[in-house]
């Protein structure tokens, strides 16, 4: 059984950008449902539930859409929770230097990230990723993530599905993304992922499940 990871902060810790109500819906209903369906499919299909990254990659390779969507969405949300913190600090060190080198600075990165998210049609995810040293902003559709993008390591992700922001911002995805980028980004987590992209650390992995 894959677990539903708990939030690393209180449900109301990200308010007002993301309200307590949204966090309860998002984590306890949406994320929980993806994990529940994932576990049903894993059981039905006799798949080992010990490595979600492998499940995502194999489901993509074997074109098992339902398994891929639920496995990837379980992974994406767990990663997304860690990309946020109520005690956000600016990027520092190598990551800050890379942001300056590849985008011109944090303001230009924010503009690229917000524009990518606003321009993304319908549901999906907007990412800051690294290909080796080089930073990139990109978006993916529906549940797709970077586990199937060879050579790309995710540093940050923001959820573009309406359930992530509609209760708090209605249709204003831009306002949500700007507030998210300004107030909630966990740059320490992004820096660890940037180390992983350069072979200096292990990348994030979904929590190891407890034995069924
Ligand atoms: Fe979501």
Lowest mean per-residue pLDDT among 58-67, 183-192, 203-212: 203-212
- 48 with 142, same domain? no
> Do 31 and 4 touch, CB atoms closer than 8 A?
yes
**Which residues have beta carbons under 5 A from ligand 1 (an ion)?**
159, 161, 164
For 77-107, the pLDDT digits (tens) are: 999 999 999 988 899 999 999 999 999 999 9
Distance 46 CA to ligand 1 centre (A): 27
User: Which residues are registered as beta bridge partners of 135?
Assistant: 130
User: Mean pLDDT in the chain?
Assistant: 96
* Residue 108 backbone phi and psi in degrees, to 5: -70, -35
- 73 with 127, same domain? no
Distance 135 CA to ligand 1 centre (A): 24
Higher pLDDT, 108 or 88: 108
Range of the domain at 143: 93-197
The answer to whether residue 34 sits within a structural domain is yes
The answer to whether residue 72 sits within a structural domain is yes
Distance 102 CA to ligand 1 centre (A): 28
The pLDDT value recorded for residue 88 is: 85
We report the CATH number of the domain holding residue 54 as: 1.10.287
Tokens of 21: 């109500």
| In the predicted structure, residue 212 carries a pLDDT above the cut 60 | no
User: Residue 147: which pLDDT band, with cuts at 50, 70 and 90?
Assistant: very high
- 99 with 171, same domain? yes
Above pLDDT 90, what percent of the chain?
A: 95
* Residue 13 backbone phi and psi in degrees, to 5: -70, -20
The answer to whether residue 52 sits within a structural domain is yes
We report the CATH number of the domain holding residue 182 as: 3.55.40.20
Quote the number of domains for the chain: 2
Distance 123 CA to ligand 1 centre (A): 9
The answer to whether residue 13 sits within a structural domain is no
Which whole number is the average pLDDT over 141-150? 96
Distance 97 CA to ligand 1 centre (A): 31
The answer to whether residue 6 sits within a structural domain is no
* Domain termination site, one of 82, 111, 132: 82
The answer to whether residue 65 sits within a structural domain is yes
User: Residue 210: which pLDDT band, with cuts at 50, 70 and 90?
Assistant: low
| In the predicted structure, residue 154 carries a pLDDT above the cut 90 | yes
Longest dimension (CA), the chain: 50
Distance 77 CA to ligand 1 centre (A): 6
- 100 with 179, same domain? yes
The answer to whether residue 204 sits within a structural domain is no
Instruction: Report CA torsion sign: 154, 10, 210, 49.
Output: negative
Distance 58 CA to ligand 1 centre (A): 22
The answer to whether residue 87 sits within a structural domain is no
* Domain termination site, one of 58, 82, 106: 82
For 22-67, the pLDDT digits (tens) are: 999 999 999 999 999 999 999 999 998 889 999 999 999 999 999 9
- 114 with 64, same domain? no
User: Residue 209: which pLDDT band, with cuts at 50, 70 and 90?
Assistant: low
Above pLDDT 70, what percent of the chain?
A: 98
């Amino acid at each position: 059984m894959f677990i539903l990871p708990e939030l690393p902060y209180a449900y109301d810790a990200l308010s007002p950008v993301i309200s307590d109500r949204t966090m309860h819906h998002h984590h306890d209903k949406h994320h929980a449902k993806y994990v529940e369906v994932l576990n049903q499919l894993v059981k039905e299909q006799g798949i080992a539930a010990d490595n979600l990254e492998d499940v995502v990659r194999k489901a993509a390779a074997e074109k098992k859409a339902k398994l891929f969507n639920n496995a990837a969405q379980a992974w994406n949300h767990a990663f997304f929770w860690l990309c946020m913190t109520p005690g956000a600090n600016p990027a520092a060190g190598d990551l800050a230097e890379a942001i300056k080198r590849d985008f011109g600075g944090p303001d230009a990165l924010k503009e690229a990230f917000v524009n990518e998210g606003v321009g993304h049609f319908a549901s999906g995810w907007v990412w800051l990723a690294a290909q080796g040293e080089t930073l990139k902003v990109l978006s993916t559709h529906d549940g797709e993530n970077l586990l199937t993008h060879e050579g790309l390591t995710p540093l940050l992700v923001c959820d573009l599905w309406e359930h992530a922001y509609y209760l708090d911002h209605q249709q204003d995805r831009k306002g949500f993304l700007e507030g998210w980028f300004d107030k909630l980004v966990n740059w320490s987590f992004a820096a660890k992922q940037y180390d992983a992209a350069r072979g200096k650390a292990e990348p994030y992995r979904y929590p190891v499940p407890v034995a069924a």
